Structure 1
Amino acid sequence: MSGVGQPGNLGERFLARLIDGLIVGVVSLVVGFVLAVVSDSWFLTGFLAAVINAALYLGYFGYLESSRGQTIGKQAMKLKVFGPDRVSNPTLEQAIRRNIYMAFGVLRIIPFIGGVLSGLAGLAAVIVIVVNINSDPQRQHWFDKFAGGTQVIKIG
């Protein structure tokens, strides 16, 4: 570890993710509204909204974590994501890999059952994350390991 601080705990990480979710969620709502206004096809609107929202979430987390090591929520909670070397920010690929579960919303493109599949996949990801963070001494979840060993550290 870089000596900066201790691994971020579940509560801090949850609050950071909640703040980030609210920020991206507002943008997502605006996009959905605009798509609904300009399109008369519920299928096309749903398809585009699912793809755009997945890109928004991955773009937000991927860009901010790779360029700054922090999203706005992590900054508010004094958390920072470090790459596997425990010194630098994760690469863009590592940041996207550790947040890939945010793209499960793209399953909504499947008519009728996509929303259920998306919800179940998201719930499964959250359960895996909670169990891993609470049981791993370094508080890494499966997606941190999938990203090569990224870690969220309390810096303040």
Structure 2
Amino acid sequence: MDRFLARLIDGLIVGIPAAILQFIFQAAVGYWAGLFIGGVITAVLALGYFGYLDSNRGQTVGKQVLKLKVVGPDGHSNPTMNESIKRNIWYAFGIVPCLGALAEIASIILIAVNINSDPRRQHWFDKFAGGTQVIKIG
């Protein structure tokens, strides 16, 4: 539940500005072009947010609030930028209008199922990133 709440907090931090920008682009260039541009902007914001904070601090704002930390494959250091981007790459699926949203939903379901069935509570994207893991620190 902590990981879900952390993602919800982080989702609001990234999602609100992204939604505003998407609305502006849709008004300026039309629905479909704005949807695509908004998807690109959302992917860049999300991957930048998670990539930078996870690789430099091991925590996003949501993880800080809920006393969680993401660690690299060695189990104690912060993940690299590359590892963090890989574990969050599913945000880039939104670049493809409509189908991307379905791929993101499928990714969220895959993450939830894998976290609960894995003894180290790693989802597929953690494994794709080389073995990153979210741990409780408080």
Match of 2:59 among 65, 70, 78: 70
Task: Please say if residues 26 and 32 of structure 2, whose CA atoms lie closer than 8 Å, have aligned partners that are also in contact.
Answer: no
Structure 1 residue 59: Cα displacement: 0.8
Which structure has the larger Rg over C-alpha atoms? 1
- TM-score, normalised to structure 1, is 0.83
What is the deviation of 1:134? 0.5
Aligned counterpart in structure 2 of residue 133 of structure 1, from 88, 99, 115: 115
Instruction: Report what 2:104 is aligned to.
Output: 122
1:91-142 CA distance string (max 9 Å, x none): 000000000111111111xxxxxx1x12321121112111111111110000
Q: C-alpha distance in 1, partners of 2:107/2:44?
A: 18
8 Å contact 2:43–2:95 — kept in the other structure?
A: yes
> How far apart in 2 are the matches of 1:40 and 1:28?
16
| Residue ranges of structure 2 left out of the alignment (5+ in a row) | none
Q: In the comparison of the two structures, how many residue pairs are matched?
A: 138
Q: 2:68 aligns with which of 44, 62, 79?
A: 79
Tell me what 1:15 maps to: 5
**Structural mapping, 1:5-154, within 5 Å:** 11-37=1-27, 39-108=28-97, 115=98, 117-154=99-136
Bigger proportion of residues as helix: 2
Q: Which runs of 5+ in 1 are unaligned?
A: 1-10, 109-114
Task: Report the residue type matching 1:135 in the other structure.
Answer: S
CA RMSD of aligned residues (A): 1.2
Going from structure 1 to structure 2, the CA distance change for 1:123 and 1:43 (only over 3 Å counts) comes to: closer
- Whichever residue aligns with residue 59 of structure 2, its letter is Q
> Structure 1 residues 98, 40: CA separation in 2 closer, same or farther (over 3 Å shift)?
closer
After the TM superposition, which parts of structure 1 deviate over 6 Å for at least 4 consecutive aligned residues? none
TM-score, scaled relative to structure 2: 0.94
Which structure has more relative contact order (CA 8 Å, sep 6+)? It is 1
Which secondary structure does the structure 2 equivalent of 1:50 belong to?
helix
Give the deviation of 1:21 after TM superposition. Answer: 0.5
